[in-house]
Structure 1
């Protein structure tokens, strides 16, 4: 039973014949119902992120009684949920975000989707939602992208955003592990995060009265509750003239994440070393795919120290006073990298000299990763759609 992926060990261990055979998620069982009416494709240069969706979607139902049902690709449509579904009342849900890119040879590539599947499975277990076969789910997603491949923009700056989601559909108001769940995957064409391919820096609002995550919580999982609870702080950041929140943690004001992104500091550290540093994965940091890719690249380059270490506002303030900060930037699927220009902290604006220093490292990372994503450079980080 050690290879069971359904979170149903008790059912599997019942007496022979006393329980129904549990269904496992298998891509070979995929049912495809093509849409009869196809929508017009939007201009990728003007489409607003997450507002336009493709012709099809993937759904897979699960129950503790029968396991995973057959996956189904169907025309894009609204979901039908019981009003008491646990996702609606107790945020028993999670999601992922990844992209498909059209390369210069008209091939379609996905960037490190195995890391998204790994994180989605970890999040599912933390949320008491059912486990699944990651490779089988990935194959189902590839079939969905293949069916809607004309929605992948014919552009080397736009892409097709892929949103796998897993929700609890337990039809009761009890706070408990759900006996019903559903995976669904929707696709949305998105344009370039940056206009005219420039890295536009953002200003941050740092106030320790709001906390994004805490030890023992779910900050390292991609759950909707982490994002919904951040909106109030984001609104306050805007009211204070800033674009994003710099999330702090603990009495020493540890720097954790920026908005919905991981954070990197490129500086001369306390020991006089050139260093690229990012907070460690200690349970409150989301293990971002772009974060991991930046660390992998920088370590491969071997040109400066690369660290996963704690950073505090005190460390940053001292480094700024001593002119040791080169760049600070966020990283994520949407933007890849996003430079930081200013931080409002305790009524004082701290200026980060990212732009003055040419955003050289951020630009180098952006160029390298987009070269891989759009096939200008071959890499085992991409999966080509067959």
Structure 2
């Protein structure tokens, strides 16, 4: 397995050691352990044609890459191209007010990436060592971490099967690489609630499938459903499951809904991690903050639940005036408020505040972004460079 770290500022960081590829144990037929990646063996090859980071006004999510060495070569028979043996992670590096650069809870990304690798029969790795390599990449290109408010450096570690062979099975070769690009605010003009289409024709995941893992194969099938939702005037899909139409995820985000309770309180609900829901880092952060009791201005009479929710329950709550808000949560947008769901020919509407957010999402968003950017000190922020 080759460790290759691709830098956004036109310099390549290439691991000097090439680790033993994925192999099957001849006795058990199981994947043999992969030799640990060692950050101490990383060798830096600096580019001689560095480019300046784009101005903030020119930054577009996922488009501002610059690789001086060009694309890497791959055999047309590589297993990733035929059998979707690819997985990835998404995290952000932030420049704090004191100029130091941090990553937000990157240990969770490494753990989830290893879980995804195991699910695809790709090699697992030492997450701490890979994280140290990623930190070194960011240190090299720290000037590409924007200082403007709301901006960050999006970092995407990726693992692919590269064996040049036709045939379904664990690949004997794999590559782990990392790319990064500066990104701006998801809502540059302020929060704008989105409309969801509760599709009953397509599903995102099924029991026993791969919905709980961050695999490339989970995303391509959603594109057609997304296009059809857009044609109907909705920004994203609300993925439903089963004849009961359980709410699962919002587009590519985890979902949260807030109900009024009979005793005058509130209940913050998100679907449980049942094997179909991606265990999002932002999802986990929202849950921990909501349960902490330490978020300023968060309603004190709130209960936090991880339980199934059906569209029938949502419609009943709407008729009874018990819907407080609905929002998505993920790395890209952090919090994405929702104002309506299109379902079975009618819209279910959700309240939104003047700023587009609600009484639960607003204080959680402020706390979360504060921790990400260093305005609020937290052990969730991992220092990359001072």
TM bracket (short chain)? 0.7 to 0.9
Is the counterpart of residue 33 in structure 1 residue 45 in structure 2? yes
Structure 1 residue 121 corresponds to structure 2 residue 120: no
Who is 1:314 aligned against? 312
Q: How far off is 1:40 after superposition?
A: 2.2
Distance 1:314 1:22, change over 3 A: closer
Matched residue, 2:123: 130
Match for 2:338 among 326, 337, 340? 340
How many angstroms apart in 2 are the aligned matches of 1:208 and 1:355?
A: 29
Runs of 4+ in 1 over 4 A off after TM superposition: 5-9, 269-273
Q: Matched residue of 2:60: which SS?
A: coil
1:267 aligns with 2:259: yes
- 1:104, 1:156 within 8 Å by CA — same for their partners in 2? no
Alignment pair present for 1:163 and 2:156: yes
In structure 2, relative to structure 1, the CA distance for the partners of 1:87 and 1:9 (3 Å cut) is closer
Q: Deviations over 1:313-346 (max 9, x none)?
A: 0010000110101110000000000000111101
User: Equivalents in 2 of 1:252, 1:144: separation in Å?
Assistant: 47
Q: CA deviation at 1:77?
A: 2.8
Q: 1:211 to 1:270 in 2, by over 3 A?
A: farther
> Is the 1:54–1:148 Cα contact (8 Å) retained in structure 2?
no
Distance 2:58 2:51 in 1: 17
- Sort the Cα spacing of 1:182 and 1:6 in 2 relative to 1 into closer, same or farther, 3 A: closer
Say if 2:364 is the partner of 1:372: no
How many angstroms does 1:35 deviate by? 1.1
> In angstroms, what is the RMSD of aligned CA positions?
2.3
> In the alignment, which residue of structure 1 is the partner of 2:176?
183
Structure 1 residues 103 and 346 mapped into 2: Cα distance closer, same or farther (>3 Å)?
same
Deviation at 1:377, TM superposition (A): 1.1
Partner of 2:3: none
For the pair 1:384 / 2:377, whether they are aligned, the reply is no
Instruction: Report deviation, 1:95.
Output: 0.3
What does 1:48-197 correspond to in 2, within 5 Å? 48-54=60-66, 77-196=70-189
Query: In 2, Cα distance between the equivalents of 1:296 and 1:11?
Result: 44
Q: What TM-score do the two structures reach when normalised by structure 2?
A: 0.88
CA shift at 1:360, angstroms? Answer: 2.7
Shift of 1:24: 2.5
- CA–CA separation in structure 2 for the residues paired with 1:30 and 1:9: 27
Unaligned 5+ residue runs, structure 2?
1-19, 295-299
- Higher deviation after alignment, 263-272 or 280-289: 263-272
CA–CA distance in structure 1, aligned partners of residues 44 and 196 of structure 2: 46
Match of 1:10 among 14, 19, 25: 25
Cα pair distance change 1:149/1:252, threshold 3 Å:
same
Matched-pair contact (CA < 8 Å) for 2:22–2:172: no
Q: Give, in angstroms, the shift of residue 155 of structure 1.
A: 1.4
Quote the Cα distance in structure 1 between the aligned partners of 2:263 and 2:246.
Answer: 19
Query: Residue 195 of structure 2 is aligned with which of 197, 203, 207?
Result: 203
How big is each residue's C-alpha offset from its partner over 1:167-221, in whole Å with a ceiling of 9 and x where there is no partner?
001111101111100001001000011123x221000111211000001000000
Q: In 2, Cα distance between the equivalents of 1:269 and 1:227?
A: 35
Deviation at 1:300, TM superposition (A): 0.1
Shift of residue 256, structure 1, vs aligned partner: 0.2
Q: Which residues of structure 1 form unaligned runs of 5+?
A: 14-20, 56-74
Structure 1's 384 and 358: CA in aligned 2 closer, same or farther, altered over 3 A? Answer: closer
